[in-house]
Amino acid sequence: MPPIVEKPVASRPLAERPLALNQTLTIARLGQRGDGVADTPEGQVFVPHALPGESVRVVRDGERARIVEIIAPSASRIAAICPLFTRCGGCAAQHMDGELYRIWKRGQVTTALERAGVAASVAETIDAHGAGRRRATFHARREGAGMLVGFMSARSHDLVAVPACPVLAPGLARAPDVAQLLANRLGGSGKPLDLQITASESGLDVDVRGHGPAGDKLRLALTEAAERLDLARLSLHGDIVVARRSPLQIMGRAQVAPGPGGFLQATAQGEAAIAGLVAAALPKAKRIADLFAGCGPFTLRLAERAQVHAVESDKAAVQALLRGAGGVPGLKRVTAETRDLFRRPLLEHELDAFDAIVLDPPRAGAEAQVRRLAAAKVATVVYVSCDAGTFARDAALLVAGGYALEGVTPVDQFRYSAHIELVGVFRRAGRR
């Protein structure tokens, strides 16, 4: 079925703040978010899209500035792959060559560890972009007579219409058109919308947030739209409007249908790379607890050779995990529980029943659980993180509790963005 295209409303010009001090700066280094950083008598100035060694003329507003002219470009500067780069806020680093990009990404991890006083060997970054990101969130809001749909511009609530995105997986090629049509159908509420679109083995899985409950008439219209767009599943705020096919994801030998809007690693290759690092750190573990387990990307792979107990606060994710495990013959025993590990972390006597702990918390980290781990006797902890800063904080707690940080491997599945994943392996002395 050919895609149905509904043209977006043209993006309005970005509002500019009053700017001061037109001046020339020399960029000394890159910041954590990819901005060029210049040292001035008044302090640091952050210049988006500037590179180390460059001389740039800018208009400045306090500690932030905008490039007017690049007087002396860096040899590391390259042409961006997307015409929307610098307008769309999704990418921060399309202007960096490969070497500078790799140094910057790995440097985010080494810098965070140094600031936390944690000594560790940091491997070279694994490129896990693969075919591209399999999930994207489009934002929509009413502009005049129509709905403007796109991505946020950098550090702004302005929207940039995105007809195509080069970092998305081929399975999301229709996503901008799908988001536009659904936003048009839902635009009558006048509310801002978030449309999360995921590529699955059986088609697009869409969860819309911001609209509120839908009456029977709107649900019928959305069901007809899902049919017309050939969606696998369409949900509103996690409530399934129509499931035409199960939106399956492959996790090891299992097939899993995550709950609507449920967490999923950004790329299929990224998930496989992280899971491989986790498994490689646990060659002899027989009983493993997978904390913040989501819908089971690690549990289902580890269960091919070990008993695994999965703990996750999202009930729908736990149910998806168990359904996935039930469909795979020959797995070791898989158990699961729904539990908020921020409020009710596993206690020492619970943790000590396992040979190893795997944890993959959200960006805030897992301080409450880590404090319990630091007091437990578990031989190995494998910590998967999407935030180098909170990982470093939690790593310092584990080290203070007697663990040694064996090594850290950065994994880049958010190409051109400031985000970096990592896997850290902790061993307690004398235990394996």
Q: For residue range 350-363, what is the model confidence (pLDDT) as tens digits?
A: 999 999 999 999 99
Average pLDDT over residues 109-133: 97
**Residues known to be catalytic:** 386
DSSP state of 187: G
**Is the per-residue pLDDT at 419 higher than 50?**
yes
Residues forming beta bridges with residue 405, ordered by sequence position: 426
CA distance 342 to 323: 25
**Is the per-residue pLDDT at 240 higher than 60?**
yes
CA distance 379 to 87: 48
User: Is residue 36 a contact partner of residue 27, using CB atoms and an 8 Å limit?
Assistant: yes
> How buried is 222 (Cβ within 10 angstroms: 0-12 exposed, 13-18 middle, 19+ buried)?
buried
Model pLDDT for residues 285-343, shown as the tens digit of each residue:
999 999 999 999 999 999 999 999 999 999 999 999 999 999 999 999 999 999 999 99
CA of 389: how far to CAs of 21, 25, 33, 276, 422, in Å?
33, 29, 13, 23, 11
Model pLDDT for residues 44-93, shown as the tens digit of each residue:
999 999 999 999 999 998 899 999 999 999 999 999 999 999 999 999 99
> How buried is 67 (Cβ within 10 angstroms: 0-12 exposed, 13-18 middle, 19+ buried)?
middle
According to the model, what pLDDT value does residue 13 have?
A: 41
User: Is residue 77 a contact partner of residue 71, using CB atoms and an 8 Å limit?
Assistant: no
Provide the mean pLDDT of the chain: 93
Model pLDDT for residues 125-140, shown as the tens digit of each residue:
999 999 999 999 999 9
- N residues, the chain: 432
Average pLDDT over residues 139-155: 92
CA distance 219 to 378: 50
% pLDDT > 90, the chain: 89
CA distance 150 to 202: 24
**Is the per-residue pLDDT at 15 higher than 80?**
no
Taken in order of first residue, the domains within the chain and their CATH numbers are: 20-91 (2.40.50.140), 104-129+264-428 (3.40.50.150), 135-243 (2.40.50.1070)
Model pLDDT for residues 178-212, shown as the tens digit of each residue:
999 999 999 878 899 999 999 999 999 999 999 98
pTM listed for this prediction: 0.92
State the number of CA atoms in the 13 A half-sphere of 250 facing the CB.
9
**Is the per-residue pLDDT at 4 higher than 50?**
no
